[in-house]
Chain A
Amino acid sequence: EAGVAQSPRYKIIEKRQSVAFWCNPISGHATLYWYQQILGQGPKLLIQFQNNGVVDDSQLPKDRFSAERLKGVDSTLKIQPAKLEDSAVYLCASRRTPRTERLISPFMNTEAFFGQGTRLTVV
């Protein structure tokens, strides 16, 4: 099966500019994640979608970051305006989950599949 697709692979922008990243998850995967991975650190969850609804955006800096998944398939993550500290790799991941995910479900235990990421450099 095709993997998680992300674009662009690399992006360099000046601070205060805006930027957008795109992600197409694996077909049929209802759950989609955006992670930020700063050099030397593990991935940090920014936002989680279940179909086209937001499940968790508690760590998303909402004053500058936004994300959408309008049709419940592909997703975009936007930063406006960018800051120097936003320099990182932005990873998109998807996971197979049933349409009606219950609290106790074997699908809770499925692994996530990651895209190659977008490396953002803010100068």
Chain B
Amino acid sequence: AQSVAQPEDQVNVAEGNPLTVKCTYSVSGNPYLFWYVQYPNRGLQFLLKYITGDNLVKGSYGFEAEFNKSQTSFHLKKPSALVSDSALYFCAVRAINTGGFKTIFGAGTRLFVKA
């Protein structure tokens, strides 16, 4: 069965420090992986995706993510965090299921960046 896990409910980091938000997945076959961000009272906004090719994917707002097939992970990273990065982050995986492709979202990780 397809699943995605975000093991941390909250990540705290000081402004200017690097940040990592973790995501692991379980699928049959090749996954398509996505990161979305959600600000208060807003819908989800797309950050980046991994389809194929380079394991390091660069996205919006200076974020990047590293696909690791052996560890079935797709961790979100940023070299230097900003207070404005504080938000809720969702990892999603799209993979083939009975009846076609299905997208599953993780439970979310709240990122808090302290000035």
Chain A residues in contact with chain B, CB under 8 A?
4, 6, 35, 40-45, 55-56, 58, 91, 93, 103, 108-109, 111-117, 119
Contact = CB atoms under 8 A, between A and B. Distances in A.
Interface of B: 32, 34, 36, 41-46, 49, 51, 90, 94, 96, 99-103, 105-108
Nearest 9 A/B pairs, CB to CB: A114-B43, A42-B105, A114-B44, A111-B46, A109-B51, A42-B107, A116-B43, A43-B105, A115-B43
B109 to A, nearest CB: 10
A119 B45 CA distance: 17
Nearest to A115: B43
B90 A43 contact: yes
B32 A116 contact: no
Contact of A112 (B100, B102, B103): B103
B43 A112 contact: no
A116 B41 contact: yes
Contact of B101 (A42, A93, A108): A108
A23 to B, nearest CB: 11
A108 B32 contact: yes
A28 to B, nearest CB: 17
